[in-house]
Amino acid sequence: MNKPAEEEYAPFYGTYMRMVGEGPVLDILEDLAENTYALFSKLSDEQANYAYAEGKWTIKEVLGHMIDAERTFAYRILAFSRGQPELPGFDENIYVENATFKSRSIGNLAEEFKTVREANLYLLHSLSPEQFAATGIASGNKISVLALVYIMAGHEMHHVKIINEKYLV
């Protein structure tokens, strides 16, 4: 699968697209899952309760957001690949605000991330070329299933980069 064309996603997803290298995107997602799980599972809860600035999410909240976003991208992939034409957006700040990430252990969150990715990989491996080419409207913008797969990878890379640069210094 080649990277999606710029017309297949809204411009604000360009950052995520540029983060994803060449190679089979499903292999990239599998490698990312292992590396991301390893990164978060080695942290203590004390480390994971850290936020680098006032008003910023803690590491636990970042990982929780990554899990929520992964599920949202997967639902969009499922819906659009099955013919659903349009889905609403989601406000990640409201999701984090109303979640219980801070009260959970980082190990538990890391396991959840790993499990969600594993389930999503089953879905992605089951899609036909026609389903990867399917499109829908999410958050008011046209997007392809293939673009959502790349966004899933790029979103993870983006947040892992922030964790490494701003939280674990």
Write out pLDDT tens, residues 81-120.
Answer: 999 999 999 999 999 999 999 999 999 999 999 999 999 9
**Is 17 within a domain?**
no
Please name the residue that has the structure tokens 């984090």: 96
pLDDT of 1 reads 83
What's 58's domain CATH number?
Answer: 1.20.120.450
Strands (E), the chain: 86-87, 135-138, 141-144
Residue 144 predicted with pLDDT over 90: yes
Here the tokens at position 128 are: 């036909």
**Is 13 within a domain?**
no
Cα 37 to Cα 115: distance, rounded to the nearest angstrom: 10
Please tell me the total count of domains within the chain: 1
In terms of residue numbers, what domain contains 149? 25-167
Percentage of the chain with pLDDT > 70?
100
Contact 152, 29 (CB under 8 A): yes
Q: Which residues contact 130 (CB under 8 A, 6 or more apart)?
A: none
Cα 16 to Cα 153: distance, rounded to the nearest angstrom: 8
Q: Report the DSSP pairing between strands 135-138 and 86-87.
A: parallel
Residue 27, classified by CB atoms within 10 Å of its CB into exposed (0-12), middle (13-18) or buried (19+), is exposed
Q: Which residues contact 169 (CB under 8 A, 6 or more apart)?
A: none
Local confidence band at 73 (pLDDT 50, 70, 90 cut-offs): very high
**Is 10 within a domain?**
no
Tens digits of residue pLDDT in 41-65 = 999 999 999 999 999 999 999 999 9
Distance of CA 52 to the CA centre of its chain: 21
Bridge partner residues of 135 (DSSP) = 144
Here the tokens at position 41 are: 């599972």
CA angle 47, 162, 96 (to 5 degrees): 70
**Is 127 within a domain?**
yes
**Is 32 within a domain?**
yes
